[in-house]
Structure 1
Amino acid sequence: MASPGLSNSNNGQQQRLGITEPISLSGPTEYDVIKTRELEKYLQDAGLYENQQEAAIREEVLGKLDQIVKIWVKTISRAKGQNDQLVQEANAKIFTFGSYRLGVHGPGADIDTLCVGPRQACRDEDFFGELHKMLSEMPEVTELHPVPDARVPVMRFKFNGVSIDLLYAKLSLWVIPEDLDISQESILQNTDEQTVRSLNGCRVTDQVLRLVPNIQNFRTTLRCMKFWAKRRGVYSNVTGFLGGINWALLVARICQLFPNALPNMLVSKFFRVYTQWRWPNPVMLCAIEEGSLGLQVWDPRRYPKDRFHLMPIITPSYPCMNSSYNVSSSTMRIMMEEFQRGNEICEAMEANKADWDILFESYPFFEAYKNYLQIDISAENADDLRKWRGWVESRLRQLTLKIEKHTYGMLQCHPHPGDFSDKSRPFHCSYFMGLQRKQGVPVSVSDGGQFDIRLTVEEFKHSVNMYTLWKPGMDIHVSHVKRRNIPTFVFPGGVRPCCSSNVTWDSKRSSELRASGPGQAEKFQEGKVVVLGTNDDRKRKQAEDSVDSLRKSKSLASLPPSSRKVHEDGNPIIIASCCSVKRNDSEINSTSEQQSEKPDMKSLGECPEDRETNGSVRSNFQVNATLTAIDTPSSKEVEKLTVEKIMCGPHDEHQDFSEAPDELEDNLEYRNQVQDFGGNMKNSNLDSSNSDTTVASELIIPNKETTSPTCLYSNGVLESEELEPVELTAPLLSGTPAPKPRIRLNFTSLRKATD
């Protein structure tokens, strides 16, 4: 184990890393040493480390790939008429970045690689031409898939079974030296935009390793947080959560704030700091520098689009960018709930009331909601399905954004970060998205609580079917399914699980709250912690009335242990919790008065709220979390004030705006792969997935007199003046009749349904 006090240093002096002073320089206790060993063993047992044989294979593959690009660049130089000496000196070099370069990759993980070539080797003609041809003729290379039109052009393939993502950067040099240092800013001179983006991955990765005080502790903590994020379903950049580089930057900042802490401490501090973080204050490892090349850097003072990033996590190398631009209000809400849950579990671990198993419990996605969207895609063969799946997956975030925008944020979406395959259907896979009414939103009398998203879904399918590489057989089908009708192929072994009897964090916390007595039970409501005192009889009576109404429709015992549930009653019962605590009779509080109360911040945490402004929903997160009970009151207050000070950065004054931007833009990787609306398109139907659910979901469309903001359509026609004109009305072309919808989501008539 590395020395806990080891830091990057200069001439023997400890160097301060980060834009602020550390929160604490305290070293580990014996307890922290023991818990860190437990964590390392847990990660080993979970299979997160590759063995020596796998590591050797990767090294061999990278060596062969480096030799291939050297042969390739000499071939290109000779074909372009260079003399023998220049051909002999011609060179290209392979760099790695991402999880492999950071040292946190696991078995079977991709290797992110960058080929740096000279000015005579072009991207389109030579890299995606000649090098692609060379790789396609090699028996060791399989599943070769070039994506030249992506924002960051990439070639994906497997080399001896090792997955490779290969990028290309063309420098302005005639000869690439073997000792090339790509961290220098001068390397970006006279390069195109694609090269800058391609180089950014390597430059950011190397800079992160320079800016953490202890690389080994950083790696263990990052490996832990990535594993946690995958288990809790919040690891996916393309879906709108956070990807590998985002988690690396967040962990690196915690390492800077607690430079002498061991991984056990860093995991706990991670949750504590980021539940207090007042987004959209940016997370930065170093100051943003303008540079000398005039490249655009993240700056909300100058660039309006940067002002609307919800969760900015800034890359540390020039040009500094926001790495988390894909985060939406829905995915951020989910992540903040998970941070709060992680913080409470870490507090419980310090009190010996929880262990690592509880922290890494899988999120029960298919138990958390009563209504889902199922997106089925299929193709004629495996190669077509791989391309089609990549395209559709890149567009799913747009479906989330459009649903939330069309319903003014009242219908919340939770995309599952991954696909499922039905073994009985070749070349087919499915994506799922949980749906729920925003907690606390009253049901409109005029529309009966309906959310008519038929045209929204048709619009999404319309945009998906404009894929320029579309081939016959590439189909997409979207359907509304209830929890009880979720297909069995999504479950392990293809068997739908019965009610779980395992003791989870939720059930354990529920039991503790019941045992704590009526005067001390904490009520969690819409992300806020609310304490009911002994004099709150009226509020408790209202909570009990809510429980009684819930019992009429179904038993509390059948509720899934999740904080994100759907309730279709006319007066929704609020049982959401920051830490996904399962509720019982004495723990449910649904009064609107409690939602507006300000609890005592010394004893309670305040979780994210959504603020509506002119019909646009924007998240303005001001989170203050309870610090661990093991700390003294003075250290709690000092740490809290220090975090507040850290967040009072230069961009703080630019974060409050009256409107949200139009986030509905093309995904960066596939933004150039969309045809004009006059191009070839396919028609696809939106059907109910199960005939016995149609009665519950097929309801009338809101009429013209309906003025409720939840009703966005009138007689099946999109009310375009309420929406963004370009992005949202383009599929409804002039002279083109509105698509005939066949499914509607409704949350009122489902009251009588039971699971």
Structure 2
Amino acid sequence: MASQPPPQAEHISLVGPTAADLEATARLESLLREEGLYVTDEETAVREEVLRDLRGVVDRWVKRLTRQRGYPDGMVDQATALVLPFGSYRLGVHGRGSDIDALVVGPSYVDRDRDFFFVLAGTLAETAGVTELQPVPSAHVPVINMRFHGVQVDLLYARVCLPVVPGDLDLSDRSVLRGLDLATVRSLNGVRVADEILRLVPDAGAFRTTLRCVKHWAKARGVYSNVAGFLGGVGWAILVARVCQLYPNAVPSMLLPRFFRIFAQWRWPNPVLLRAIEHDDGKLGLHLPVWDPRRNPRDRTHLMPIVTPVYPCMNSGYNVSQATLRVITEHLGVGDAVCQGIVKAGGAGGWGELFRPFHFFDEYKSYLQVDATALGGEVDHREWKGWVESRLRLLSARVEADTSGKLLCHLHPQAYAAEPHERPCKSSFFVGLSKPKQRRRRPAVAAAQQKQKQLFDLRATMEGFTQEVYTYEYWRTGMELKVAHVSRKDLPSYVARQLRSGGHQLKRKRVDDESCSSSPSDGSDDPRSSSSSADIKRPAA
């Protein structure tokens, strides 16, 4: 099997499934159902109710704005906005507890800054069933986060250059992008990319099952998070779609091993493309930025380009860093080894081994603990936690740069919350620390290196990261950040309790375990004698 087929290759093999492959696929799908990856009829009804109620709120909002702007009654009657789900829901791979990504498409006179983030957000705040409302206008893709009837909803807005939005508006038509800013184009592309992926795969059913498997694996291994610098749903979907294109007649039990074999060996930063990159032909005068390293020097710095298949093409893996790319590649290699074992066994079983969780807190001896604390209550806490989470990948990059790659970072994308009764509200994130694996050396050399244990002073690194986080535009008094070095045995009790409640027992190592220290290498007897935390409180404005 080719480790990296050329982007223009239409397929590698047209071989279809054997009876054994079909049987293996049936076992794989049965396992997915046992794991609860398919929604129940009751959950489907709840999501449909959420979308129906949301459409009602949005429809009344647009009609009210139309009337306030002085438009005639006839136009008020026609005024509406579309509410279009995208992401996993539109792709048909959403599962139990998954959120709904939805796009509101409104007319030209309804703007995002005031009408969406102020007026609609205020209306939603007063709507029965809406909780945890949090507008994030400064995000890369501006969004309103909320829970509606208990379902997490991420709501985006796009204003198109039409006085009335038709119910059958074709978002695949490039002309819909005319006159739009880049944030609006990004918002529209959620729907456009999902539809194009489904159009480009040869078998939507095989694609969906394989993508469910890959997403389940990525979440179990802790490499599913665009914010943390790994890959989000769109990135994983494009990778799976590419494999489906290369093996158009394969079923999921065939596609899954090929997925891991191809991308465990992929030579990044060669891009993954579902179709050729398209540029503006000049007729519409769009001139939107398109990912293309041949024309844009900045795009050459991207480490894991996974390119969306609609104009303007974008890199869905733009957040990937050296640290997260290394972690993703390592886990893909593990997945490849497991799948090859299953294939050698004739696909007779063992799929559960592929989805075995990665026990992050058993893997490392030293960690950076990042505590996001808010004195102002739950609303401030959610906002501050989200901002800190979006910056964490920069901490990993700083550590590896400041230690010249002699200390490696693995960011864990999950947040651990302190006990609910504790005040102030606090959430903790963790970054695993390790040293690069060394080539095997002679025993005498290895013993000498063991005596010369290398220590790292990360205080300046942690302080620099903390000060950078405090540049948050919407910072308020009471939002605090603390970064500290901790060993495995010193992890907070609430982390251990949450791990136990999830069925994982944290392994406690001996106190004399060797670990990376964030203290200065000053020759002191106690390598932890100096402060190894950065607890900087931003002064009140």
TM-score, normalised relative to structure 2: 0.88
Whole-angstrom CA distance in 1 between matches of 2:136 and 2:510: 51
Aligned residue number for residue 261 of structure 1: 250
- 1:159-206 CA distances to partner (integer Å, 9 max, x unpaired)? 211211111101111111011111110000011222111101111111
The alpha carbon displacement at 1:118 in A equals 0.7
> What is the alpha-carbon distance in structure 2 between the residues aligned to residue 308 and residue 193 of structure 1?
21
**Alignment deviations for residues 442-478 of structure 1 (CA, whole Å, 9 cap, x no partner):** 9999996222111110011111122232233222111
Q: 1:488-526: CA deviations, max 9, x gaps?
A: 3223556583759xxxxxxxxxxxxxxxxxxxxxxxxxx
Contact 2:487 2:515 in 1 (8 A): no
Matching residue of 1:200: 189
Hey, what's the Cα distance between the residues in 2 that align with 1:256 and 1:410?
40
1:41-56, aligned counterparts within 5 Å? Answer: 41-56=30-45
State yes or no: 1:156 paired with 2:142: no
Change in Cα spacing, 1:497 to 1:144, as seen in structure 2 (3 Å) is closer
1:32-43 aligned within 5 A: 32-43=21-32
What is aligned with 1:394?
390
1:425 aligns with 2:422: yes
5 Å matches for 1:615-634? Answer: none
What is residue 497 of structure 1 aligned with on the other side? 505
C-alpha displacement at 1:567, in angstroms? 6.8
Q: Using a 3 Å threshold, how does the CA distance of structure 1 residues 304 and 493 change in structure 2: closer, same or farther?
A: closer
Indicate yes or no: 2:463 matched with 1:461: no
**Does 2:159 align with 1:370?**
no
Q: 1:677-729, CA deviations, whole angstroms, 9 ceiling, x for partnerless residues?
A: xxxxxxxxx999xxxx9933236xxxxxxxxxxxxxxxxxxxxxxxxxxxxxx
1:356 to 345, 351, 354: 351
> Which residue of 470, 475, 480 maps to 2:475?
470
Q: Which residue of 2 aligns with 1:743?
A: 532
**Structure 1 CA distance for aligned equivalents of residues 179 and 312 of structure 2:** 14
* Higher alpha-carbon deviation: 406-415 or 310-319: 406-415
Q: Quick one: structure 1 residues 162 and 472, their matched pair in 2 at CA, closer, same or farther if it must change by over 3 Å?
A: same
Once residues 49 and 487 of structure 2 are traced to their aligned partners in structure 1, the CA distance between those partners, rounded to angstroms, is 49
* 8 A contact 1:246–1:324 mirrored in 2: yes
CA contact (8 A) 2:240 2:259 kept: yes
What amino acid does structure 2 have at the position aligned with 1:329? Q
Asked if the contact 2:462–2:533 (Cα under 8 Å) also holds between the matched residues in 1, the reply is no
1:253-402 matches, within 5 Å, as 253-292=242-281, 293-352=286-345, 355-380=350-375, 381-402=377-398
CA deviation after TM superposition for structure 1 residue 156, in Å: 1.3
- Counterparts of 2:452 and 2:387 in 1: how far apart (Å)? 35
Matched, 1:439 2:428: no
Alignment partners' CA distance in 2, 1:270 and 1:276? 10
Alpha-carbon RMSD across the aligned residues, in angstroms, is: 2.8
Q: Aligned partners of 1:159 and 1:271: how far apart in 2?
A: 37
Give the whole-Å Cα distance in 2 for the aligned partners of 1:485 and 1:254. Answer: 43
Q: Is the 8 A contact 2:455 2:516 kept in 1?
A: no
Within-5 A mapping of 1:619-658: none
Cα deviation, residue 89, structure 1? 2.0
Displacement of 1:19 in angstroms is 3.4
Displacement of 1:149 in angstroms is 2.0
CA shift for structure 1 position 37: 0.9
For residue 528 of structure 2, the aligned residue among 677, 689, 697 is 697
Residue 415, structure 1, aligned to residue 423, structure 2: no
Distance 2:89 2:351 in 1: 25
Specify whether residues 65 and 448 from structure 1 end up closer, same or farther in structure 2 by C-alpha distance, changes over 3 A only: same
Question: After the TM superposition, which residues 469-488 of structure 1 pair with which residues of structure 2 at under 5 Å, given as runs?
Answer: 469-488=474-493
- Which secondary structure does the structure 2 equivalent of 1:290 belong to? coil
Shift of 1:386: 0.5
Helix, strand or coil for the counterpart of 1:469? coil
Work out which structure has the larger RCO, using CA pairs closer than 8 Å and 6 or more positions apart in sequence.
1
CA contact (8 A) 1:479 1:687 kept: no
Would the aligned equivalents of 2:484 and 2:533 in 1 still touch at CA under 8 Å? no
Residue 399 of structure 2 aligns with an amino acid whose one-letter code is I
The answer to whether the 8 A contact 1:488-1:494 is kept is: no
Distance 1:23 1:317 in 2: 24
Q: 1:241 aligns with which of 230, 236, 260?
A: 230
- Counterpart Cα distance in 2 of 1:331 and 1:394: 14
How far apart are the structure 2 equivalents of 1:568 and 1:56? 51
**What secondary structure sits across from 2:162 in the alignment?**
coil
Aligned mates of 2:302, 2:525 — CA distance in 1? 39
Distance in 1 (alpha carbons) for counterparts of 2:226 and 2:251:
28
Task: Kindly indicate whether the alpha-carbon contact (under 8 Å) linking 1:300 and 1:307 is maintained by their aligned counterparts in 2.
Answer: yes
Residue 20 of structure 1: how far off its partner (Å): 1.7
Give the counterpart letter for 2:485 in structure 1: H
CA contact (8 A) 1:96 1:113 kept: yes
> 2 CA distance for matches of 1:363 and 1:498?
12
Amino acid paired to 2:296: Y
- Paired letter, 2:324: T
Aligned-partner residue type, residue 238 of structure 2: L
Distance 1:72 1:129 in 2: 12
The amino acid of 2:95's aligned partner reads: G
> Is residue 2:209 matched to residue 1:220?
yes
Residues of 2 paired with 1:178 and 1:346: CA distance? 45
Structure 1 residue runs without a partner (length 5+): 1-17, 501-552, 560-565, 570-685, 700-741, 746-755
Deviations 1:7-65 (A, max 9, x none): xxxxxxxxxxx832210100111221111111111110111111011101111211221
Distance change (3 Å), C-alpha of 1:499 and 1:162 = closer
**Aligned-partner Cα distance in 2 for 1:446–1:121:** 68
- Contact 1:698–1:744 (CA<8 Å) still a contact in 2? no
Q: Choose 194-203 or 142-151, whichever is displaced more.
A: 142-151
Higher alpha-carbon Rg = 1
Alignment partners' CA distance in 1, 2:449 and 2:64? 69
Distance across 1 between alignment mates of 2:133 and 2:533: 41
**Matched AA of 2:302:** H
Letter in 1 for 2:532: I
Deviation digits for residues 127-169 of structure 1, max 9, x if unmatched?
Answer: 1122122212212221111111222111111221121111110
Aligned in 2, Cα 1:493/1:448: closer, same or farther, shift over 3 Å?
closer
For residues 597-619 of structure 1, the C-alpha deviation after alignment (integer angstroms, 9 at most, x for no partner) is: xxxxxxxxxxxxxxxxxxxxxxx
Closer, same or farther in 2 for the Cα pair 1:250/1:498, shift >3 Å?
closer
Q: Once the two structures are aligned, what percentage of the paired residues are identical?
A: 48
Secondary structure of 1:491 counterpart: helix
Native 8 Å contact 2:368 2:430 kept in 1 = yes
Q: Which amino acid aligns with 2:224?
A: Y
- Say whether the 8 Å CA contact 2:366–2:515 is kept in structure 1: no
> Helix, strand or coil: the match of 2:274?
coil
